[in-house]
Structure 1
């Protein structure tokens, strides 16, 4: 646990230093070019909290993609005076609310049960039961037919079965106060002190800031990412892995088709085909067909 926490805090420290070094002077130009590279949608035989967080992030980016591409598509048609009643796309807002809403969502309930677990034992089956009672009627949620600790989320890319057995342990991942106190007291200044700061300098084991849960920290960071994305003009690159063997000149059709669906590419193609897929600038149109005028 100590090594894991030290590695995590060191990683965050390095990222913060790099961002600060490349951030420019305070009060300078706000324009920037950024690259966002995340894991793709994940469906494994056993899906846990990591997969839920990764897939939630993909849901957030899919909604942002929908709003940027398809909503602006409608706005373009409106400016051109074109009817676009046949153009529609599946809104995944319900799935986002199911996973990450402030109240009555999977992550909110997980945080609540994580706090309760410090006073009483909460296993995976009990956590899944809490999910069932609170979210059982949600259209994007379903009970898993196999296993008391399982539940299903109906993602935009397909249904995913999750197992809640290790959710609370992974979400809390506590470092004992004694060990954190020892690490923080190892050096009064320098890197170690920066990684394990004392809260308020009151001394004793209670002098360290209480660590937030993994899910609450994740939701906060994802919220900041959404704000940043909404303030930018995004361009999208969808990468497709041709095979699982890292072999040259080998394309797995099922694997490629699966990624095209999970990435929302097929949905984007369907939307474009249902509207006006051919776009010609006026000067190009004039050049090609001026003799007919």
Structure 2
């Protein structure tokens, strides 16, 4: 346990402590939360007191104390029920609180979970979607357009204005970051977090719009840096976002945007870094999800494009028809296709490159429709029928490679022995796996090319001394089934939680020194042990996973057994009952049970040599450029490259950047799972607010 100091003796301590409670709660965790809640109880609970009690349907319900028996009280709740609860489980209700709530949690008379929930709900009812908790902004997704909140007149009002005079807003966070950067000459960062569907992507776009407004070149013509930065969003969304069961426009990758400024505070360059694109989605989706948006946009392109690429209804493609969802409510894929092409123009992707990009997208759709059957004589794969043969030829035509070479690359593997070179035929299942592997490799290379192209087009400013970084990255995830992706995402969140704790404690120590307050130590939970469990070398989970991937005879079960043996006494590692290969990690936000059955396959990043040879020889320079010839050294080295280890390095580089900046935090919250406006689901919201060691106040 780490220690932190809290005053008990300063004469003005109570006011200072209450004013900064949002920040304290976030940092100090459960112990402080309980002390606050029970210190916040009225000294005398009496008959007639207004209180909050727990309720299984709405999380918390208000009521009035009607009887008191020693440590137990009877409460008549708003819905007419009478409940008996322990005195320690009731919380005071401030019936004199403003009817529209308060815009900063630290202004609540009682700062506890039911008061926070009620305040957010009250404000959401009147479309006040932003609320402060100290220096942290909580943003509730309205699930409806609120364009009046973001127009140029609103931007003008928030520009350089004092926080006290205006309602909470995402623009305030951006404005404070910009002013601090100008005044202190130090880089700032804004960390946007929350679960899928909470509104992170839209919040990030609003931040970028406001910073472009502050740092834009007034009266400039042509493609300005700020225009290119903004138009990078629709391009990356088309190729990196998809509909999931809980979000119609879910980012399936993490993103850190560095916006650079010159000495006059004008935007002078930018760089976009992306993390962990979900490769598996290209080939595998489930109802009611969709694949990446770009596939549907292309299927809704003008007739001449459809004819050129021999496309049709999305229902006719295997990579799209695994789900029954083909359209998004309120979205025209045809219009989005045109908008995406226009955005590509702005970010510097020329027409020839755009045609090549969509040629690749079309090729992947045709590739997915190549099916295989077993040869009658030997156990090897053949292209199944005339329809599959058509898609094989279309794929080859679009990728500008030889159809027979493509068929060989899908159905055969070359084995080199000291005596001879042998071509081994794959069975139909292995050929389908080969096909899907090729599709995932092509798509991920295309996505990386887009990011690199945007960065080159926008350009970086080598003379810039300051930047504002915006982090839009996946929140903590815990589903019924949790695989490799959730493991990487939750590892990321452990890193960010540690960064948050360290920053808040440093910030509060400086506040105390300034206020000349005497300090006492209060304990808080540190998550370094979880990070060691995951990433320590040697012997952490990632190291053991990489080791398993390098041994041909390893299986997910032998990998899991190694984990059980290694971490049997680790307090953060749990072996679940009735399973031979699952494992549970006690994360800062709660326990997550992982299914290890695909960990080894998903961690292996390699390009099949036959696929590499096929596409590097493409007559299309764009496609050949996605698969540059390997150096002799690379070709001789092991084909295996660990996705987890690469991601770990990327993540550490991100943390190094964040640690060199002054951070600001926005916590996005999803008010309901139906994605409907004006609907506030208490249980759903409270689960998001509770995620983390710091319970209510862990807003990052």
Residue 587 of structure 2 is aligned to residue 155 of structure 1: yes
**Any idea what SS the aligned residue of 1:138 has?**
coil
Q: Distance in 2 between matches of 1:228 and 1:240?
A: 26
- What's the offset of the Cα at 1:19? 2.6
Classify 1:100/1:23 alpha carbon distance in 2 versus 1 (closer, same or farther; 3 Å): farther
Classify 1:191/1:262 alpha carbon distance in 2 versus 1 (closer, same or farther; 3 Å): farther
| Structure-to-structure mapping, 1:185-204, within 5 angstroms | 185-187=617-619, 190-200=621-631, 202=632
Root mean square deviation of aligned Cα: 2.4
Classify 1:173/1:2 alpha carbon distance in 2 versus 1 (closer, same or farther; 3 Å): same
Classify 1:155/1:146 alpha carbon distance in 2 versus 1 (closer, same or farther; 3 Å): same
Give the TM-score of the pair, scaled to structure 1. Answer: 0.82
Classify 1:78/1:170 alpha carbon distance in 2 versus 1 (closer, same or farther; 3 Å): same
Measured against aligned partners, the alpha-carbon deviations of 1:105-137 in whole angstroms (never above 9, x if no partner) come to: 111110110111xx22x2222111111112222
**Any idea what SS the aligned residue of 1:160 has?**
strand
| Structure-to-structure mapping, 1:217-232, within 5 angstroms | 217-232=646-661
- What's the offset of the Cα at 1:210? 4.2
- What's the offset of the Cα at 1:82? 1.8
Which position in structure 2 is the counterpart of 1:60? 495
Match of 1:247 among 645, 651, 676: 676
Classify 1:265/1:190 alpha carbon distance in 2 versus 1 (closer, same or farther; 3 Å): farther
Higher helix share: 1
**Any idea what SS the aligned residue of 2:662 has?**
coil
Residue 615 of structure 2 is aligned to residue 183 of structure 1: yes
- What's the offset of the Cα at 1:211? 5.3
Q: Answer whether contact 1:59 1:96 (CA < 8 A) is retained.
A: yes
- What's the offset of the Cα at 1:35? 1.2
**Any idea what SS the aligned residue of 1:33 has?**
strand
**Any idea what SS the aligned residue of 1:6 has?**
helix
**Any idea what SS the aligned residue of 1:41 has?**
coil
Match of 1:131 among 545, 549, 563: 563
Match of 2:449 among 6, 13, 19: 13
Give the TM-score of the pair, scaled to structure 2. Answer: 0.36
Measured against aligned partners, the alpha-carbon deviations of 1:235-289 in whole angstroms (never above 9, x if no partner) come to: 100000001110111111111111112266635479xxxxxxxxxxxxxxxxxxx
**Any idea what SS the aligned residue of 2:628 has?**
coil
Match of 1:108 among 521, 526, 543: 543
Measured against aligned partners, the alpha-carbon deviations of 1:73-124 in whole angstroms (never above 9, x if no partner) come to: 12322343323324442111111111112221111110110111xx22x222
Q: Answer whether contact 1:260 1:266 (CA < 8 A) is retained.
A: yes
Q: Distance in 2 between matches of 1:28 and 1:128?
A: 50
Residue 477 of structure 2 is aligned to residue 42 of structure 1: yes
Classify 1:91/1:20 alpha carbon distance in 2 versus 1 (closer, same or farther; 3 Å): farther
Q: Answer whether contact 1:238 1:263 (CA < 8 A) is retained.
A: no
| Structure-to-structure mapping, 1:258-277, within 5 angstroms | 258-262=687-691, 266=695, 268=697
* More displaced 10-residue stretch of structure 1: 169-178 or 239-248: 169-178
Q: Which structure's relative contact order is higher, taking Cα pairs within 8 Å and 6+ residues apart?
A: 2
- What's the offset of the Cα at 1:217? 1.4
Classify 1:233/1:21 alpha carbon distance in 2 versus 1 (closer, same or farther; 3 Å): farther
Higher strand share: 2
Q: Answer whether contact 1:199 1:207 (CA < 8 A) is retained.
A: no
Q: Distance in 2 between matches of 1:135 and 1:93?
A: 16
Q: Answer whether contact 2:492 2:651 (CA < 8 A) is retained.
A: yes
**Any idea what SS the aligned residue of 1:178 has?**
helix
- Kindly name which structure, 1 or 2, has the bigger radius of gyration based on alpha carbons: 2
- What's the offset of the Cα at 1:65? 0.6
Measured against aligned partners, the alpha-carbon deviations of 1:147-182 in whole angstroms (never above 9, x if no partner) come to: 110111010001111111110011115432111111
Q: Distance in 2 between matches of 1:89 and 1:21?
A: 46
Measured against aligned partners, the alpha-carbon deviations of 1:43-96 in whole angstroms (never above 9, x if no partner) come to: 111111100000010111111011111232123223433233244421111111
Q: Answer whether contact 1:41 1:263 (CA < 8 A) is retained.
A: no
Structure 1: give runs of 5+ residues left out of the alignment: 271-293
Count of residues in correspondence between the two structures: 263
Q: Answer whether contact 2:477 2:486 (CA < 8 A) is retained.
A: yes
**Any idea what SS the aligned residue of 1:234 has?**
strand
Q: Answer whether contact 1:181 1:208 (CA < 8 A) is retained.
A: no
Measured against aligned partners, the alpha-carbon deviations of 1:190-233 in whole angstroms (never above 9, x if no partner) come to: 33233212222x49x93799452211111111111111111111
Structure 2: give runs of 5+ residues left out of the alignment: 1-436
